[in-house]
Amino acid sequence: MSSSPQNPRTLRFSLAAAGRVLYSSLPNGGRVTTIETDVLVIGSGLAGLMCALRLGRESGVFLASKSDLSESNTRYAQGGIACVISAEDSIESHVQDTLSTGGGLCREDVVRAIIGAGPAHVQALEALGISFKRRMEDEEAYDLGQEGGHSHRRVLHAGDITGQELIRVLLEEVGKIPAVTMRPHLMAIDLVTTGWLGLPGENRCLGAYFLDRDTGEILAVRARATVLATGGAGKVYLYTSNPDGATGDGMALAWRAGLPILNMEFVQFHPTCLYHPQAKSFLISEAVRGEGGRLINSAGESFIERADPRGSLAPRDIVARAIDHEMKTRGDPCVYLDITRKSVRFLKDRFPTLYKTCHQFGIDMAADPIPVVPAAHYFCGGVQAGIDGATAMPGLYAIGETACTGLHGANRLASNSLLEALVCSTRAAQTLLENPGASAPPRVAIPDWRPGDAVPSDEAVVVEHNWNEVRTCMWDYVGIVRTNKRLERALRRIQNIRREIKTYYHSYLVNADLLELRNIAAVAECIIRCAMQRQESRGLHYSLDAPTPDRLHPAHDTLLQDPPGGPVSAMDALERQGV
Ligand SMILES: Cc1cc2nc3c(=O)[nH]c(=O)nc-3n(C[C@H](O)[C@H](O)[C@H](O)COP(=O)(O)OP(=O)(O)OC[C@H]3O[C@@H](n4cnc5c(N)ncnc54)[C@H](O)[C@@H]3O)c2cc1C
């Protein structure tokens, strides 16, 4: 069917260089608008924007993001990008720090490739207009930050708004490329694959279904290649440093499509989120400890040294566990980060946003220790992918925090994640440009979205209740310290909730809250099942039942791969459509 010129949305899309409209649509069901593009990029964080930027000069790109384009985990990154710049530092030293933090599970070839590529990629960022901070006393030298686990100062930053700067510059640059169409408020629901359509041959990705959050309509995008750049999943936990959209959508989409998912038990808890009733997810950067901030308990005593001689500069997992232990033993709701030894001038210059935000909450960083608690921060696991984002499914790529490349192993070295997103997004774009026709999808129509008997929901309270239940259950039973019994209890609860969500999903028209709930519950189950597979403590996974690494067997990844439509990954969207 041809596109309808009467439909203003259709008209808007037809004008877009990257997307050609094939069908018109009806609200939340019926005929879907299908947009044709060369490469579909899902997500507008560092990974998605950089990939679109590198592709867009030579290829048509449709970039969809579920919130405003500037919203992502990237935007909140404060510390910076780890990269070897100083003459006193070396690639080998950065490699060794990464391997040693990774608890024996990093892939050394991946570590060497990503870290080795760092300096050139950082230069490329500077060429785009990102300016990393220089020293006050010497404008020629970078002001390099020091973070836990790094043996040298090597974190490039733009004050404490590094992420904001990256997004600002990249949005501006991508916005200049006519071949890239960027669409906010389009939320990917599920991948469309040939296997799902029952086509013979290898299972490959054809694109994805989207919910237009502004109109409630369902769209489809058909693409030669689909790039998942949907970020992390901090919202699976009650307390998190992540913004609201970090619901693990890409991981859940890929899992439902039958892709291998790795190492989901390795959730990094940031040791220091601001503890204040009105502060939502506000992170106190690790760089504060790098500048001499000391963790103390409510009695004013240092306590991290009992767990690690490096004290407040020990890697995050050790610090977070020590804080958790201190809070539980003393019955305190938080601990404190004391940087009062630094002057107001220094703090205002080095941490302008932190200083201002703390001040808004009545805390003077130069005079008062800052109340802090640990919170879910970063996912080392995700969709199994190569450095160029290639996944097990032809036509599907995963980059950034959604992917698991093997860089982080069992624990991420601070500020290595922006570096990974930067390098892997560029490599993915290179691969796609070098093989333009390598994986042309079959010319099949994406089926219409059939809502069945679904009606608008009049029970939003059920969604809200289940959101809270998933997050509380994960915080209480699958948090910083785990046991077999807690994991079993959590699995039972999450599977029950998933059954309830499935019924709900079939009964009501989809909206963003329901889709995100479905995804956090799926990711929660992935985390628990990976944690149950790991009968040892390693890196970020700590179990009281097996408190040391298993030295009898070689270190191994945990792997989940359920066939699409299998007992756990049953693809609800398909069932809903009666396929
Ligand atoms: C507070 C904070 C501070 C941090 N500080 C640092 C630091 O200093 N250094 C460092 O290296 N790392 C840091 N990190 C981690 C780092 O920011 C992230 O790992 C990295 O930015 C991930 O980039 P990304 O592009 O993969 O994902 P993101 O930046 O999270 O982008 C994901 C994008 O996908 C979109 N999206 C998600 N689901 C869907 C869907 N279903 N449909 C459409 N769009 C979707 C989102 O809206 C978003 O635009 C920090 C993280 C946080 C939360």
Nearest-5° Cα angle at 459, 456 to 462: 130
Bridge partners, 268 (sequence order): 378
Pairing outcome for strands 559-560 and 261-262: antiparallel
Residue nearest to atom 33 of ligand 1 (CA): 43
Nearest to 260 by CA among 359, 49, 389, 404: 404
Amino acid at site 444: V
Residues 347 and 357: their CA atoms lie apart, in Å, by 12
Q: How far is the CA of 430 from the centre of ligand 1 (A)?
A: 22
Nearest to 537 by CA among 480, 472, 489: 480
Positions in the chain whose pLDDT score sits under 50: 1-18, 24, 565-579
Active site includes 412? Answer: no
Q: How far is the CA of 45 from the centre of ligand 1 (A)?
A: 5
Residue nearest to atom 27 of ligand 1 (CA): 231
Q: How far is the CA of 554 from the centre of ligand 1 (A)?
A: 32
What is the helix (H) or strand (E) element at residue 250, kind and residue range? helix 249-256
Q: By the 8 A CB rule, do 432 and 261 touch?
A: no
- Look at residue 439 in the predicted model and tell me its pLDDT: 61
Atom of ligand 1 nearest to the CA of 163: 17
Q: Is the CB of 378 under 6 A from ligand 1?
A: yes
Q: Is the CB of 249 under 6 A from ligand 1?
A: yes
Q: Is the CB of 226 under 6 A from ligand 1?
A: no
Residue nearest to atom 4 of ligand 1 (CA): 77
Q: Is the CB of 287 under 6 A from ligand 1?
A: no
- Look at residue 573 in the predicted model and tell me its pLDDT: 45
162-205 per-position pLDDT tens digit: 999 999 999 999 999 999 999 999 999 999 999 988 898 889 99
Rounded to the nearest 10 degrees, what angle do helices 512-533 and 460-477 cross at? 20
Active-site option among 224, 316, 498, 518: 316
- Look at residue 454 in the predicted model and tell me its pLDDT: 74
Q: How far is the CA of 71 from the centre of ligand 1 (A)?
A: 9
Q: How far is the CA of 77 from the centre of ligand 1 (A)?
A: 8
Q: Is the CB of 65 under 6 A from ligand 1?
A: yes
Atom of ligand 1 nearest to the CA of 377: 53
Residues 204 and 208: their CA atoms lie apart, in Å, by 12
What's the chain's Rg over C-alpha atoms? 23
341-377 per-position pLDDT tens digit: 999 999 999 899 899 999 999 999 999 999 999 999 9
- For 102-116, give the DSSP string: TTT-S-HHHHHHHHH
Q: How far is the CA of 76 from the centre of ligand 1 (A)?
A: 8
Atom of ligand 1 nearest to the CA of 82: 11
Atom of ligand 1 nearest to the CA of 46: 25
Q: How far is the CA of 428 from the centre of ligand 1 (A)?
A: 17
Residue nearest to atom 21 of ligand 1 (CA): 74
- Look at residue 574 in the predicted model and tell me its pLDDT: 44
Nearest to 518 by CA among 189, 266, 240: 189
Q: How far is the CA of 232 from the centre of ligand 1 (A)?
A: 6
The structure tokens 């808004």 sit at 360
Residue nearest to atom 17 of ligand 1 (CA): 74
Q: Is the CB of 245 under 6 A from ligand 1?
A: yes
The 10 Å Cβ neighbour count of residue 171 is 15
Q: Is the CB of 145 under 6 A from ligand 1?
A: no
Chain centre to alpha carbon of residue 517: 16
Ligand 1: which of 230, 286, 377, 399 to mutate, judged by most atoms within 8 Å of the beta carbon? 230
